[in-house]
């Protein structure tokens, strides 16, 4: 049984667990994901700021292998690293 199906074989969103008819698949990096809304897809797939935890929608700031949501977080993150 995959992580997106229940015992009856019903497809479910991997974020909220709902099994609405409009569930859709996203294939990313060789993995298959099931969501029932774009909101769940964003929550499930987008990186999060390493400092404040906000979801990065759009442009973030990359510091090495770390992502932060804004220049203020980047400045604060860099200060913590020093």
User: pLDDT tens, 44-82?
Assistant: 999 888 888 888 887 788 888 888 888 888 888 776 663
The residue with greater pLDDT, 21 or 42, is 42
Answer yes or no: pTM beyond 0.85: no
Closest Cα partner for 77 from 53, 52, 51, 40? 51
Instruction: Judge whether residue 2 has pLDDT over 50.
Output: no
The residue with greater pLDDT, 24 or 65, is 24
- Give me the pLDDT at residue 1, please: 35
Among residues of the chain, what percentage have pLDDT more than 70?
Answer: 84
Q: Are 45 and 25 in contact (CB under 8 A)?
A: no
């Amino acid at each position: 049984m995959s992580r997106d199906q229940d015992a009856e074989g019903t497809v479910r969103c991997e974020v909220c667990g709902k099994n609405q008819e409009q569930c859709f698949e996203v294939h990313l990096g060789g993995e298959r994901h099931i969501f029932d809304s774009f909101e769940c897809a964003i929550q499930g797939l987008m990186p999060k700021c390493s400092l404040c935890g906000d979801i990065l929608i759009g442009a973030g700031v990359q510091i090495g292998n770390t992502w932060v949501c804004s220049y203020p977080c980047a400045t604060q993150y860099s200060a913590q690293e020093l």
